[in-house]
Amino acid sequence: MNTLRVIGWPSVGGRWSGATRRLVGVILALGLVFGARTAAAGVRVVATLPDLGAIAREVVGDAGTVTVLSFAAEDPHYVDPRPTLLVPLSRADLLIVNGMELEVGWLPPMLVNARNPAIQPGGPGYFDASTAVARLEVPKGPVARSEGDVHAQGNPHYAYEPRSGAAVAMTLAARLARLDPANAQGYVARATVLKSALLAFATSERARFDAIPAARRTVVSYHQSLTYLEHWLGLTRLATIEPLPGIPPSPKHVAAVLSLMKGSSAVVVQEEYRPRATSERLAQLTSCQLVIIPGGAREAERYLDRLRRTTDALHAAMVE
């Protein structure tokens, strides 16, 4: 197994200058040379997010390479569209996206610039992993995007939950088997092993959390990213610090969250990449615990180990 990590150029923001566009041409040309040299390396998979990359690494095994476009310490809604990311995109046989518009703020222009027909939406090498999972918080009516809600297609943070991860692994194996029939058996066998481990973990962790008194199984999350995890572990969400997904908290909203938290034993939870000042202040004022959870699997970390880091941190705070 060979895992590639893309080293970023300095940020160029959402719009590329003329100089950057010329640079992109050079990078793509270099990518074609590099790609030709490594054509024997097997199937080339690109995943937008670290958790999807971690699942893919286990399913692909030694049959190819997996490149991840973002870091665990980056907000998946707002990944820096580094021009160097075009190299793996231009060469990819399969692109795995989280979907449900999680990457809508940064991926679409990159796909256009990568000029790889196979991985365009609807193409044989485009895999929207959200099609494999039971989606939660899907709006029943239209959502006013002017309000800034970044979860307009439902809650996209399903990778926090191992049953979703298992479903993604199995669907991914089926896609890879179609793209690369010679290695089909290996993809399905590895995905099946991962699925069994994830489902066993889902059951044992639920039992571990069920043993905690219900009043302590309460969370206040910064972003509305714990929904799937709450369903899995039987947690109750008291409030979110962002009034809507993607909208920074106003003083009025923070005051409302504070009054909800008073007298509770809620745990304040946020990812490593979010601003901490408000969470820290709320935890301090209420004597509640603040838990910083991973934004995703670290480089070369197994998906199950990333999930365990998350649940261990939550469990420790709730039983203290």
Q: Applying CB under 5 A, which residues contact Zn ion? A: 245
Tokens of 101: 């518009």
At its nearest, how many Å lie between Zn ion and the CB of residue 64? Answer: 30
CB of 152 or CB of 197, closer to Zn ion: 152
At its nearest, how many Å lie between Zn ion and the CB of residue 208? Answer: 26
To 10 degrees, what angle do helices 50-60 and 184-210 make? 130
**Residue whose Cβ sits closest to Zn ion:** 245
CB of 60 or CB of 152, closer to Zn ion: 152
260: alpha, beta or left? (left if phi > 0; alpha if psi -120 to 50): alpha
Cβ contact 238:219 at 8 Å:
yes
Helix%, strand%, coil% for the chain, nearest 5 = 50, 15, 35
Q: Identify the DSSP state of 249.
A: P
Signed CA dihedral, 185, 191, 194, 195: sign only: negative
CB of 65 or CB of 224, closer to Zn ion: 224
- Cα angle for residues 144, 273, 67 (degrees, 5° grid): 95
CB of 243 or CB of 245, closer to Zn ion: 245
Q: Which residues of 166-203 are buried (b: 16+ CB within 10 A; e: fewer)?
A: bbbbbbbbebbbebbeebbebbbebbeebbebbeebbe
Cα 185 to Cα 179, 190, 199: the distances in Å are 12, 9, 21
At its nearest, how many Å lie between Zn ion and the CB of residue 132? Answer: 19
At its nearest, how many Å lie between Zn ion and the CB of residue 10? Answer: 26
Cβ contact 233:186 at 8 Å:
no
At its nearest, how many Å lie between Zn ion and the CB of residue 75? Answer: 8
At its nearest, how many Å lie between Zn ion and the CB of residue 194? Answer: 25
CB of 194 or CB of 226, closer to Zn ion: 226
Altogether, the residues listed in the chain come to a count of 320
At its nearest, how many Å lie between Zn ion and the CB of residue 236? Answer: 20
Please state, in angstroms and rounded to a whole number, the distance separating the CA atoms of residues 124 and 28. 21
CB of 165 or CB of 186, closer to Zn ion: 165
CB of 61 or CB of 154, closer to Zn ion: 154
